[in-house]
A = this chain, B = another copy of it.
Amino acid sequence: MKDLSEQIQSLCRRAKDSSRLLAELSPKTIDCGLIAIGEELFSKKHEILEANEKDVDNAKKANLSPALIDRLYLGEKRFGDLLKALEDIVYLPSPLGEVIEEWKRPNGLLIKKIRVPIGLIGIIYESRPNVTVDSSALCLKSGNAVILRGGTEAFNTNCALVDSIHAGLRKARIVEDAVLLVPTTDRQSIPLLCSQQGLIDLLIPRGGKNLIETVVNHAKIPVIKHSQGICHVYVHCDASFDKALSIVLNAKCQRPAVCNAMETLLIDEKIAPDFLPLVVNELQKRGVELRGDQNCLNIMGDRLILADEEDWSTEYLDLILSIKIVKNLQEAIDHIRKHGSNHSDAIVTEDSSAAEAFLHKIDSAAVYWNASTRFTDGFEFGFGAEIGISTDKIHARGPMGLKELTTYKYIVYGNGQIRT
């Protein structure tokens, strides 16, 4: 235990030291590094995919769930996507050095608020190995060093990926320690990472509830959570049924396993007798299991299961949907406030004052009027990349792109000013 603790601390110290060298590089040098990383990954494709096969085999032997094995699997196609994503990051503008604000004080001091890297970022994540390359590229591009603690089941893949990342950094003459992988699958490494005050500047946990809770419970350094999305669509009494139907189907079915998918549908009681049958038909055609409140069952009979209290606060991440009939806008807002996770919520209505009330009263990272919750995404927002979707309110909220991986400092120019 002492050994591991010392090992993690020394790893973080190396990464922190490298963050200072990294902060002095030009954006162009960093881009060259990213290109070199892409070349090295490409040339080591077979080794990486072999390492991944080993992980997949182990996962099968350990009887891990098919969903997890699918997330773990890399393969030719996903490897290509990973390289493409890396290339896209190269061509994004660097967020660094931007003068965010600049002003002169009456005493002549010139104050510039400048965008700078955060320093050392710790990413703690689960099975998907593309996160290893994605996170490294985004952290490097924003001038940050990164320490990665990937999923145990992806350990061989991650080691192979980070080997190539190091080769790329070497080629571009960038300090290799700027990207470090925790070289153990010991679960104790997570609490140890969480207590590296003064070395790690920010922790970003990406994964399931247990992972997030472990990090939050142990963290003595700032954390930006990428936690669950219990997203709602509220179909208001003045909704266009066409828009409502297409938004509901999209928000639930297009990709049910992601955090911006809808988990609960709220329907205004004035239109429920007409809209509910329509939407139930279409959802059931697509294989969605429906859990409704008593009012839904009164209309639709046993085509829906009766939802229990827990359903309203459950992130299914699956083709399951809870449906509730609400009296009015206020009841919809109250329900979302009580059960939502402040991620993404939508209202469908043609009534602009109802929409404005919803948009302003719902305290979620993204609120939508007549659009699908599925748009909460760095690419869909136009950021060109994302390291994830923050469910916190501090520093970054919603999709996190390159800007959100930076901080600022004040540079103050004087000519001898003193305070009186």
Contact = CB atoms under 8 A, between A and B. Distances in A.
Interface of A: 20, 23-24, 103, 105, 109, 111, 116, 118-119, 197, 201-202, 216-217, 219-220, 222-224, 240, 242-243, 246-247, 249-251, 254, 337, 359-361, 363-372, 374-376, 380-382, 392-395, 397-398, 407-420
Nearest to A97: B360
Nearest to A415: B370
Contacts of A119: 363, 393
Given A254-B419, A416-B240, A217 B220 contact: yes
A398 B111 CA distance: 13
A368 B412 contact: yes
Given A20-B363, A217-B220, A381-B111, A398 B371 contact: no
B414 A118 contact: no
B398 A410 contact: yes
Given A393-B202, A394-B202, A410-B381, A419 B369 contact: no
Nearest to A17: B337
B359 A411 contact: yes
Contact of A371 (B250, B394, B416): B416
Contact of A109 (B24, B371, B415): B371
A39 to B, nearest CB: 30
A374 B418 contact: yes
B222 A375 contact: no
Contact of A408 (B222, B369, B397, B415): B397
Contact of A118 (B105, B394, B417): B394
B398 A337 contact: no
Contacts of A202: 393-394
Contact of A418 (B223, B247, B408, B413): B247
A22 B282 CA distance: 41
A412 B364 CA distance: 12
Contacts of A242: 416
A109 to B, nearest CB: 6
B220 A394 contact: no
A242 B416 CA distance: 8
Instruction: Among A105, A251, A409, A420, find the residue whose CB has the most chain B CB atoms closer than 10 A.
Output: A409
A285 to B, nearest CB: 17
B375 A109 contact: yes
Nearest to A372: B418
Given A103-B382, A394-B395, A410 B220 contact: no
A407 B381 contact: no
A407 B393 contact: yes
B398 A395 contact: no
A369 B414 CA distance: 6
Instruction: Among A380, A414, A420, find the residue whose CB has the most chain B CB atoms closer than 10 A.
Output: A414
A380 B105 CA distance: 8
A268 B318 CA distance: 65
Nearest to A19: B363
A419 B380 contact: yes
B250 A369 contact: no
A418 B250 contact: yes
Nearest to A413: B369
Contacts of A376: 410
A417 B371 contact: yes
A247 B420 CA distance: 11
A247 B119 CA distance: 30
Instruction: Among A216, A363, A382, A397, find the residue whose CB has the most chain B CB atoms closer than 10 A.
Output: A363
Nearest to A416: B243
In the A-B complex, the 4 residue pairs with the closest CB atoms? A371-B414, A250-B418, A243-B416, A395-B395
A415 B109 CA distance: 48
Given A222-B223, A365-B410, A407-B394, A416 B118 contact: no
B116 A419 contact: no
Given A197-B216, A220-B217, A223-B222, A409 B363 contact: yes
